[in-house]
Amino acid sequence: MKATTLTASNVYQSVAETVGLKPKEVKGAVEAVMGVASGELKKHGSFKLAGVLALKLKKKPATPARKGVNPFTKEPCVFKAKPASKTVRVLAMKKLKDAVN
């Protein structure tokens, strides 16, 4: 039997029952925290969420177009250039690791 994961609405409902709020209020609070997190990531490049998760902004440099070989057909081809981009890395902190173990 396959284990199912919680959906976002199920998480909101569970937190609402635990805290005694309405699911809409919980959703609003989570969205507000995400807004603060995105702002801090843009400004400082890192954000710690309640000692449980650490979010870090990782910058990927641009890559130029380059020649290569298609591994399936063995024909030479040109790989497109990719622009610089940013991604978010999430790390579990000690409090979460201890709770899981």
Render 48-75 in DSSP notation, one character per residue: EETTTEEEEEEEEPPB--EEEE-TTT--
- Spans of the chain below 70 pLDDT: 1
Tokens 């396959």, residue located: 2
| Segments making up each domain of the chain, as ranges | 1-44, 45-101
**How high is the pLDDT of residue 70?**
92
**How high is the pLDDT of residue 23?**
94
Identify which of 72, 85, 87 has the alpha carbon closest to the alpha carbon of residue 41: 87
- What pTM, to 2 d.p., does this model score? 0.75
